[in-house]
Amino acid sequence: MKESSLFIITWLFVLFLSFITVHGADQIPNPEKEKQILLEKDREISGISAGNGVLRAFYPYLTEKSFLLPKKGHPVCGKETCAKLADQMDMDGRANSFKWEPLFSDVSTAGDLGYTYGRYEIPAAPTSSASAANAASGDNKKKVNYGYYGTIWIKDTEGKWKVAFSQGLVLLKGLNQKPLQKLIDLEKADPINREVLATERAFSDYSVTNGYLPAFYRFIDDNGISLGSQGTPKTKADYARLMAEVEKKKQDGTPGAGAGKLEWEALYSHVAASGDMAYNFGTYLYTETDAKGNQQIGRGHFLTVWKKQSTGNKDWKFVMDCGNEVD
């Protein structure tokens, strides 16, 4: 009887260990696997967009806390708002030709926060004069515009990837979206969140004091990237080159070289459960005085992904920065 009871207890214990081993393994984050999943999700949205439009393509991956940054203007906030605006794509009938390809992805150690960035292409907006010229010459080739985008992904409570933010893929205008209010409560923020926000603040302060080029060079990760509204993405090496060019212009007496001031403030912040990746979203202000003494002002939004360094002082460095213009 004792031997039989001992056998049953042993069998139940082995069964319990097997259950823990199998199901526990499923819960262990696999960053490399998650990176590939994000690339696949990004491509999937692009494929849907090519036949249905960008907002309809994004819709299944949005939540009521999702934000989409249009090419110009205030963010489109929430899944249902995007659904209502799906027919307002200002692309001159080009929505079905809008596509993109992700070039890179990365995720937090916890596998709950990640980002992708890549390049999009869309036919240039047609003009009557260009159409007439092409018809006359027999040149029917369509010009294509290229640009770059960045998307922030976050896992929901069911473990499914959702789009938290996306910039560069929504070519909308005239939406009359209201400016966002500050969504950060420092009293409720945890220590790591405060650390990331303090780094963002230091980044902006350094930009005001020393210039935005030195600031970006100082705070960008060695493998980081900055996706501007125009031109190709910039790396740490690009900022070093631009700093040298500005310094040379100053020595040559070129008016206004490096005179622009860029400052910003975070409105929202989120940190991965593993505490090694975070993103901040907010507004920026750019002011510059031209050679005639006229002040130029530019406003917009920024989206910055931060990653904690695994070596050295383990500082936070930004791995992706992007944004849009408001005016």
The predicted model gives 204-227 an average pLDDT of 96
Q: What's the pLDDT score for residue 314? A: 84
Q: Which amino acid is at 69?
A: L
Q: What's the pLDDT score for residue 17? A: 45
Q: How many CA atoms lie within 13 A of 3 on its CB side?
A: 0
Q: Is the pLDDT of residue 269 over 60?
A: yes
| Residue 196: closest CA among 262, 264, 263, 266 | 266
Which among 6-15, 21-30, 128-137, 245-254 has the top mean pLDDT?
245-254
3-state secondary structure 87-118: CCCCCCCCHHHCEEEEEEEEECCCCCEEEEEE
Q: What's the pLDDT score for residue 27? A: 65
The 10s digit of each residue's pLDDT in 51-87 is 777 888 888 999 998 988 887 888 888 888 887 777 6
Q: What's the pLDDT score for residue 101? A: 95
Q: What's the pLDDT score for residue 128? A: 52
Q: Is the pLDDT of residue 310 over 50?
A: yes
Q: What's the pLDDT score for residue 11? A: 47
Q: What's the pLDDT score for residue 216? A: 97
% residues pLDDT > 70 (the chain): 78
| Mean per-residue pLDDT of the chain | 82
C-alpha–C-alpha distance, residues 138 and 289, integer Å: 47
67-70, strands of its sheet edge to edge: 76-77, 67-70, 161-170, 144-155, 113-123, 99-107
Class of domain 191-325: alpha beta
Q: What's the pLDDT score for residue 312? A: 75
Q: What's the pLDDT score for residue 126? A: 66
Residues 6 or more apart in contact with residue 258 via CB below 8 angstroms: 211, 213, 246, 247, 249, 250
CA distance to 76, 133, 285, 293, per residue, from 84 (Å): 11, 38, 30, 44
Residue whose entry in the numeric block shows the structure tokens 């249009």: 70
Q: What's the pLDDT score for residue 87? A: 66
Residue 157 gets which letter from DSSP? T
Domain definitions of the chain by residue range: 31-170, 191-325
Residues 6 or more apart in contact with residue 206 via CB below 8 angstroms: 214, 215, 218, 219
Length of the chain: 327
The predicted model gives 157-184 an average pLDDT of 80
C-alpha–C-alpha distance, residues 278 and 270, integer Å: 6
Exposure string of 138-168, with b = 16+ CB inside 10 Å and e = fewer, is eeeeeeeeebbbbbbbbbeeeeebbbbbbbb
Q: Are 134 and 163 in contact (CB under 8 A)?
A: no
The 10s digit of each residue's pLDDT in 87-116 is 665 445 565 677 899 999 999 999 999 999
Q: Is the pLDDT of residue 13 over 80?
A: no
What are the tokens at 302? 């920024």
What does residue 312 show for φ and ψ, rounded to 5 degrees? 65, -135
Q: Are 82 and 76 in contact (CB under 8 A)?
A: yes
Lowest-pLDDT choice from 26-30, 73-77, 128-132: 128-132
Domain over 31-170 is classified CATH 3.40.50.2300: no
Fold match, 31-170 / 191-325 = yes
